[in-house]
Amino acid sequence: MQIVHPRCAGLDVHQKQVVACIRVAGRKKLVQEVRTFKTTTRELIALSDWLASHGCTHVAMESTGVYWKPVWHVLDGAFELVLANAMHIKNIPGRKSDVNDATWISDLLAHGLIRGSFIPPAEIQDLRDLTRSRKQMVLEAARHVQRLQKVLEDANIKLTEILSDVMGKSGRSIISALIAGETNPEVLAGLACGSRLKATRDEFVEALRGRVTSHHRFLLKLHLGQIDSLDSAVRELEVRMGEALSPFRESVELLKTIPGVSDTVARVIIAEVGLDMGRFPTSGHLISWAGLCPGMNESAGKRLSSRIRHGAPWLKSTLAQAAWGAVRTKGCYLRAQFHRIKSRRGPKKAIIAVAASMLTAVYHILKNHVPYRDLGSEHYDRIDKTKAATRLVKKLKNLGYQVALSPAA
Q: Is 121 helix (H, G, I), strand (E, B) or coil?
A: coil
Residues in the chain: 409
Is the separation of the CB atoms in 52 and 22 below 8 Å? no
The pLDDT, as a whole number, for residue 386 is: 77
Q: pLDDT value at position 201?
A: 80
Q: Which of 199, 141, 192, 200 is nearest to 168 (CA)?
A: 192
The number of beta carbons lying within 10 Å of the beta carbon of residue 127 is 24
Residue 197 confidence (pLDDT):
66
Q: How far apart are CA 116 and CA 312, in angstroms?
A: 15
Query: Cα Rg for the chain, rounded, in angstroms?
Result: 29
User: Quick check: 201 and 239 in contact, CB under 8 A?
Assistant: no
**Count of CA atoms in the C-beta half-sphere (13 A) of 184:** 4
In the prediction, which pLDDT does 119 show?
A: 87
CA distance 141 to 110: 48
Residue-level pLDDT at 304:
73
pLDDT score, position 302 = 78
Q: How far is CA 108 from the centre of its chain?
A: 30
Residue 23's DSSP bridge partners are 8, 32
Of 3, 234, 26, 31, nearest to 135 by C-alpha is 234
- Say what the pLDDT of residue 185 is: 87
30 phi/psi in degrees, rounded to 5: -105, 130
80-84 and 58-62: which strand pairing?
parallel
- pTM value is 0.81
Chain segment 320-348, per-residue pLDDT in tens? 999 999 999 998 999 999 999 998 889 99
In 3D space, the residue among 185, 210, 329, 347 whose CA is nearest the CA of residue 258 turns out to be 329
Q: Residues 182, 185, 190, 192: is their CA dihedral positive or negative?
A: positive
Per-residue pLDDT of the chain (409 residues; tens, 9 = 90+): 788 899 999 999 999 999 999 999 887 788 899 999 999 999 999 999 999 999 999 999 988 888 999 999 999 989 999 999 887 887 666 677 888 889 999 999 999 998 888 888 889 999 999 999 999 999 999 999 999 999 999 999 988 888 888 888 888 999 999 999 988 888 888 887 765 666 778 888 888 888 999 999 999 999 999 999 999 999 999 999 999 988 899 999 999 999 999 999 999 999 999 998 988 999 999 999 999 988 777 777 777 777 777 788 899 999 999 999 999 999 899 999 999 999 888 999 999 999 999 999 999 999 999 999 998 888 887 777 777 788 888 988 999 888 888 877 6
